[in-house]
Amino acid sequence: MDLQSFIRHIEKLDKRYLWHPFTQMKEWAEGTPVIITEGRGSFLKDISGKWYIDGVSSIWVTVHGHRKKELDDAIKGQLDKISHSTLLGLTHPPAAILAEKLVKLVRKSLPPPLGNTPLTLSPLERGAGVCNRGEFNSALRTPHSGLSRVFYSDNGSTAVEIGLKMAFQYWKHKGVKSKKTFLSLSNAYHGDTIGAVSVGGIELFHSIFSPLLFKSYKAPSPYCYRCELGKTHPSCKLHCLREMEGIMKKHHKEIAALIIEPIVQGAGGMIVSPPGFLKGARRLCTKYNILMIADEVATGFGRTGKMFACSHEDVSPDILCLAKGITGGYLPLAATIAAGDIYNAFLGEYEDFKTFFHGHTYTGNQLACAAALANLELFRKEKTLERMQRKVEFLKQALDGIRAFSHVGDVRQKGFMVGIELVKNENTKEPYPLEEKTGWKVCSRAREKGLLIRPLGNVVVLMPPLSVSLQELKSLVRITAEAVREVTE
């Protein structure tokens, strides 16, 4: 088969048999798909030989680039031993060694938990009369120990499901029967399984499933550009936190955990929370005996410029969910890391049935764990975080040009997570109607120019691999700027 026939063949098979995620397939059937056959560094090559910058790290996963020798070798090396064996009743070296490395990494990156420091209330909190330390039975206190146990699964949604179920069952074991629900944020995205959607807050994705979802409380999103409370930062003094506290104060007896994407709400539109928001949320969780689940599926492994986003505000969650970048973007793997106290609450005699009854077939896959180990080793060896700081700074300055465009309402950046919010009217912040597909048009223009990016509604997302070069970053921003200008002006 010659190349042109092969391309037509693949396109035909795709359109006849595949169902793509988050895709209107009628529209897909009318378009011409980009067929990716190769990758190298920050680039992807399509079947006709055209190269593109991978501007969103293959949906937020690629860390050290494609075809990274060390990652390739680690997987090949593991392949010569075994690809998969189960963690149900058996163990294996990559899973055990990686668990230790993850726990040590988390401990190095995050502060010791503040759980057992005496709970002192700020004058503001005392003034509000919200609670005194003595109001709580000490058996109900949130955990005092650091993150120390790794539970594997294979994607971000399952990492979240596991976190939610752990938190729920933890309180059962502690004899607290009433904590049956969760608190999450508007604009939150925690994955697409039913539990994860139940704590999600993106109307467009989630509302259709509402009859299937369990109840959860919603605190305001820290979305300063479009504050749902109608306030302005910083004069608001983080009013959104007060709203959160209001919900906690009223419902803490029902709330097992707060689940939060620390620092950046990703799929909600790259919403960067104002300084102090995360730390404030942590303090409120401690104060109201609510576990904190940090969903670092997107933000983990250097995305925000630190190993974990929680490090920006020196926050330790009680449960930490990791996925996307954990294997450097090579293979599906996820980890839910729980505090020692949570783990301990599940210990008992067999017949106590305190077991955490949860597991996935490919839990802790050997190849994926081998890739994750090589990923961590690369962070160390190549000083990935240190070396990205200059690039983050460069990106920040380069984005100033785009900020000035008349249909760019807001440019948000934390490390290598960037959201460019397009607006119909800059002064009124009137958004483009979604059906105009402005974000899509920008991305499709960028594609013609050799950059692959994918929008979130009216937000153009940039998320290059951490290994991107300054030269590549320059092209990434230049093409994005051209595409935005050509589509909106």
Ligand X SMILES: *Cc1c(COP(=O)(O)O)cnc(C)c1O
Nearest to ligand X of 245, 295 (CB atom): 295
Spatial separation of the C-alpha atoms in residues 120 and 118, rounded to whole Å: 6
Pairing outcome for strands 271-272 and 264-265: antiparallel
Nearest to ligand X of 158, 289 (CB atom): 158
Pairing outcome for strands 430-431 and 417-425: antiparallel
Nearest to ligand X of 295, 410 (CB atom): 295
Q: How far is the CB of 190 from ligand X (least distance, A)?
A: 5
Q: How far is the CB of 191 from ligand X (least distance, A)?
A: 3
Instruction: Choose, by CB under 6 A, the member of 56, 74, 160, 373 that binds ligand X.
Output: 160
Nearest to ligand X of 361, 471 (CB atom): 361
Chain residues 33-72 in contact with ligand X, contact rule CB under 6 A: none
Report cis status (omega within 30 of 0) of the bond before 234. Answer: yes
Residue span binding ligand X (CB under 6 A) among the ranges 76-84, 92-100, 122-130, 185-193: 185-193
Q: Is 105 within 8 Å of 379 (Cβ atoms)?
A: no
Instruction: Choose, by CB under 6 A, the member of 39, 55, 156, 455 that binds ligand X.
Output: 156
DSSP string for residues in 90-141: ---HHHHHHHHHHHHHHHHHSPPPSTTS-----HHHHHHT---GGGS-GGGP
Q: How far is the CB of 336 from ligand X (least distance, A)?
A: 11
Chain residues 314-353 in contact with ligand X, contact rule CB under 6 A: 323-324
Question: For ligand X, how many residues bind (rule: CB under 6 A)?
Answer: 15
Nearest to ligand X of 182, 288 (CB atom): 182
Nearest to ligand X of 264, 345 (CB atom): 264
Report the half-sphere exposure of 364 (CA within 13 A, side-chain side).
20
Environment class of residue 213 by beta-carbon count within 10 Å: exposed (0-12), middle (13-18) or buried (19+)? Answer: middle
Q: How far is the CB of 155 from ligand X (least distance, A)?
A: 3
Nearest residue by C-beta to ligand X? 156
Chain residues 246-305 in contact with ligand X, contact rule CB under 6 A: 261, 266-267, 295, 297-298
Q: How far is the CB of 154 from ligand X (least distance, A)?
A: 8
What b/e readout covers 383-401, taking b as 16+ CB neighbours within 10 angstroms? ebbeebeebbeebeebbee
Spatial separation of the C-alpha atoms in residues 320 and 312, rounded to whole Å: 15
Alpha-carbon dihedral 297, 302, 303, 304, rounded to 10 degrees: 110
Nearest to ligand X of 102, 267 (CB atom): 267
Chain residues 187-206 in contact with ligand X, contact rule CB under 6 A: 189-191
Q: What are phi and psi of 351, to 5 degrees?
A: -75, -5
Residue span binding ligand X (CB under 6 A) among the ranges 150-158, 231-239, 368-376, 477-485: 150-158
Q: How far is the CB of 389 from ligand X (least distance, A)?
A: 23
Nearest to ligand X of 98, 162 (CB atom): 162
- Nearest alpha carbon to residue 462 among 416, 411, 397: 416
Report the half-sphere exposure of 129 (CA within 13 A, side-chain side).
0
- 375 near ligand X (CB under 6 A): no
What does the per-residue mask of binding to ligand X show for 384-423, with x meaning CB under 6 A? ----------------------------------------
Spatial separation of the C-alpha atoms in residues 217 and 251, rounded to whole Å: 9
Nearest to ligand X of 131, 183 (CB atom): 183
Q: How far is CA 135 from the centre of its chain?
A: 35
Q: How far is the CB of 57 from ligand X (least distance, A)?
A: 12
Q: How far is the CB of 334 from ligand X (least distance, A)?
A: 7
What b/e readout covers 180-207, taking b as 16+ CB neighbours within 10 angstroms? ebbbbbbbbbbbbeebbbbbbbbeeebe
The residues that touch ligand X, with contacts defined as CB under 6 A, are 155-157, 160, 189-191, 261, 266-267, 295, 297-298, 323-324
